[in-house]
Chains A and B, each alone.
Chain A
Amino acid sequence: MSIWERLLKIPRALIFLLIGIAVFFPLLFKFTLPLNILKPVQDVYDFIEALPEGTPVILSFDYSPDVLPECYPISLVLAKHLAKKKLRIYIMTLYPAGTGFALDVYNKIIKEYGLKEREDIVFLGYFPSVAATILGIGEDIKNVFKSDYFGYPFDKIPAFNGVKNYSDIKLAISISGAAIPESWMIYANGRYGANVAAGVTAVMAAQLYPYYRSKQFIGLIGGMRGAAEYEKLLKAYDLATKGMNSISLANFVMVFLVILGNIAFFMQRRTKK
């Protein structure tokens, strides 16, 4: 068996081991790789920076545990920015599985930034029916948000004072690994002209770029890289910066393996000829 044939028959376990090392190595040893800020992320940051203090903003956790490693860092860094800017944050989810993560971020942000519950930040919980909820907010939020997640009635929540619909809520951000940001874009932006941004997995980001270019999304945070760029902008280095090193190394190993596989494939073909 020639060396090329042997290379083509590398056992699967060895490939798994290489990827495993590439993923774990950056988590064990601290090092920093450079990272440029790309425009879609910069646009979200700039938009939030330009909002005046006390502006109502929706942060929707529309994801489930399968995309947690990518979506959670995006949620956390965005929530930090909103809290830092002292905006009025409405946290909600259109995905039943998103409630736990949303509550986790809600508690973290309150603790870290000393926010006042129901004044600076409200946790609204899960809402079934994506389209009906997004459209309902466009009509009148009190028809949708009857109370917060803990059962506190709408009328007694100061964070809702003077807020009726998207004309008062200046930004809605959907974080998801599925097509829910598109629903926000279609219903909230398309019908009511609301400003919508999305934080999505890297796989979903490619699908949403056309809408970002047509300005239906004010900006996009794509996957772990997007979150890491945002952490850099905010100077709040956390989960995404660490995760980005793992992804970078794993991608590098994968590209190396594919190149190696192709070299072996062509060399073996040439030898046979």
Chain B
Amino acid sequence: MKKQVPLFIVFFIGLLGFLQYFITGPLSKSVYTLLLEWFQGVQGMAIIMAVISLTRRHFTNVRKGKNVFYSLVTLISLYGMMILGIFFGIGKGSIFDKIYEFVMVPLNATTFSLLSFYMASAAYRAFRARSVESALLLLSAFVLMIGLTSFGDVLSESLPYFAQWVLDVPNLAAQRGITLGIALGILATSLKIMLGIERSWLE
């Protein structure tokens, strides 16, 4: 029963979601709207579950003395922001907003910006034309890196258009192949879940 009920719900909702796409009319529309509302409810519950799970994990870490500092930072940030938001508001000029604007935004942007420095260092050490394939990769990287910046326009007027062609044709062909593969994979996995062949999500 513990497995059959969730399996039945998954099969039934999956089938409903699939069929409503092909059936028009007021009944199909109302079922669809209802599903959307449920979807939002389920997502809300998922956030609550995530907060509980994160708290338990880091609480256990603190109790066991494992990565205490990082776990404390996570817990204080999570609940500190929550308390500030709930009791003092989230509007412009609030403490919540100020912490977000002056701590979160610069930290996040800084972490991402550091990437360019590490990428340059890693590329210098590892990006070598050791084989025909890696030479081709190197060449296409040069075309895109130069072609899609202003230096491309300085070197030759047609270089940016060539870089665009690389994106439009060879990149497109590869991306479409990948996308089709992913789509077929999702379809197969969905069917396996709906039919109860794939049950790992129940454990």
Among the 9-residue stretches A33-41, A53-61, A154-162, the one with 4 or more Cβ atoms under 8 Å from chain B is A33-41
Q: Which of A40, A65, A100 has the most CB of B within 10 A?
A: A65
The docked-state distance in angstroms from the alpha carbon of A62 to that of B68 is 34
Interface residues of A, dominant DSSP: helix
Q: Give the chain B neighbours of A48 by CB distance below 8 A.
A: none
* Chain A residues touching B, range: 35 or more
Residue of B nearest to A229 (CB): B160
Q: Shortest CB–CB separation between residue B52 and chain A, in angstroms?
A: 18
Also in contact, A257 and B124, with CB within 8 A (given A33-B153, A209-B168):
yes
Query: Cβ of A118: which chain B residues have Cβ within 8 Å of it?
Result: none
- Say whether chain B's binding surface is mostly helix, strand, loop, or mixed: helix
Q: Is A147 an interface residue (CB 8 A)?
A: no
Q: Which residue of B lies closest to A99 (CB)?
A: B90
Stretch of A77-85, A129-137, A168-176 on the interface side: A129-137
Whether B151 is near chain A, meaning CB under 8 Å from some CB there, is yes
Contact in complex: B148, A252 (CB < 8 Å): no
B67 beta carbon closer than 8 Å to chain A: no
Within 8 A of A (CB), among B67-82: none
Q: Say if the beta carbon of A122 comes within 8 Å of chain B.
A: no
B138 engages A36 (CB within 8 Å)? no
Given contacts A33-B153, A35-B153, A244-B150, contact A210 B172 (CB under 8 A): yes
Given contacts A33-B154, A38-B164, contact A65 B123 (CB under 8 A): no
User: Can you spell out 8 A-B residue pairs with CB atoms less than 8 angstroms apart?
Assistant: A8-B125, A19-B117, A23-B116, A33-B151, A68-B108, A132-B43, A139-B36, A213-B172
Q: A20-B117, A23-B116, A100-B100 are in contact. List 8 more A-B contacts (CB 8 A).
A: A16-B120, A65-B104, A100-B101, A205-B167, A254-B145, A255-B142, A255-B146, A261-B125
